[in-house]
Structure 1
Amino acid sequence: MANFEYASTNTGMLLLEVRDTGIGIPDSQKEIIFEAFRQQSGQSNRKYEGTGLGLAITKKLVEKMDGHIEVHSEQGTGSVFQVTIDKVGFDNRKLPEKEINSLLAVNVRFKDSLVLIIDDVKANADAFIALADSPDIKFLRAESGEIALEILNHHKPDLIIMDIRMPGMDGFMATKAIRAMPHLANIPVIAYTASVFEMEKLNNHELFQGAIIKPVNKTQVIGELTRFLPYKTIKGQEYSIQEQEATV
């Protein structure tokens, strides 16, 4: 959790709070956990993969910013760590209209659409779908190129998100197979890659209509979806709605 309390026109207090559901910390050991190479008794380095440095470094960084860190915890119920930093400066100048429009662009409502996302790592597909955050987009998933082709025998999506590096049939092979099917040849395919070095090549590749790099963020996801799917833009507090058609 993060919270900012305004103290003046250009400063305020920043409060950060992190909760866990771990083993908890007894009162007698709440101070030593902030010491370097120290962990509470009974906590095995091997089991929890810790070195005892994380909280010590965090405390030093917070104190360098004239802040304070504290812990509230009970054994068996987890812990709450709170960081408070006072007199944090902020820029209250009005954003240029161009930047405001850019921010508003992510406030979109998609029309009913079907998207096939192909990735052998479930977490990557989950991340993309969560960031799209649209009840109007139905996502189909495939964990391989072979499974994707089977799905495409029964469904015709409006857009395909294609992982490039997959075992067996990779993204290039799967997309070539899709392009060979007359009824699917014109479906836009966005390459989904973890390689920075592949991005430029993929953006200009004849097989793909775009490329997006992992890990993705919401702006990237919405930006690519609005290129190919019809949507409505919700602007400002009045929520006036402007119809937009995708441009393929």
Structure 2
Amino acid sequence: MELEDSLKSTISTFKEIAAEKGLYFKEQYDIPEELVLLSDETRLRQIVWNLLSNAIKFTEQGGIILAVRARPSTVDPESKVMLITISVRDTGIGIALDKQETIFDDFQQADGSITRKYGGTGLGLSIVTKLCELMDGSIHLSSVENKGAEFTVQIKAQLGEASMLSYRAGTNAARPLSANKSMFILIAEDQPVNAMVAKAFLTHMGHRSEIVDNGALALAAVKANDYDLILMDNHMPKMSGIEATRQIRSLDNPVKARIPIIGLTADAYEETHQE
């Protein structure tokens, strides 16, 4: 893979979201020219996705700086191993010193007020930590409360050759996602960043979409419009996604009552999935 190219689609999505929030988004690259790496692109994109998602979610003023650097490993220069360093720095709410040791644990956020205001389950950084471990890497945090945070990931990747890229450019290369049919999609999501991410992806795939932030508004929107699909968050104010789905399925209009609904939740509890 080519490191910068592999991250472009993920980065472009968050640049758009940052612009919508009035935040700056800066990129800094220190990568040797024509560098080709043998690494897991999916895991790498997931790491960057989670870090950028957190940065934008918890930043209301200022912005985000993404820095990517690649250097030969100094441990064994003959091994053709590159050390990849990715850092995401924001000017957001930061993390109190006494919370920094537990922030990477499952289901942990700095405190309950953050969960109430910004949502989420506290799994994002835990997932990043596990992905870093799988890639023989690590993650570190530097933060001052109310001034921002910087997460730095370091992973190792084997050097590849340019000829390896020609295969991907051929007939067997993965093609970008595209829509066979343009759909009109309702996004029911009370967290603005999550909603903007979903909308950006749907727009990129050629679909139209509208956003509502609670189940009651989702139900009203379905009654007033003709959607092809609904993306429904579970935990929303006024009316949950589960209750909104029940009421949609009970509508007198048989077409609207059968609209495909995809539930969106980061809830890890089995009883929630069964509902």
TM-score w.r.t. the length of structure 2 is 0.41
Higher strand share: 1
TM-score w.r.t. the length of structure 1 is 0.45
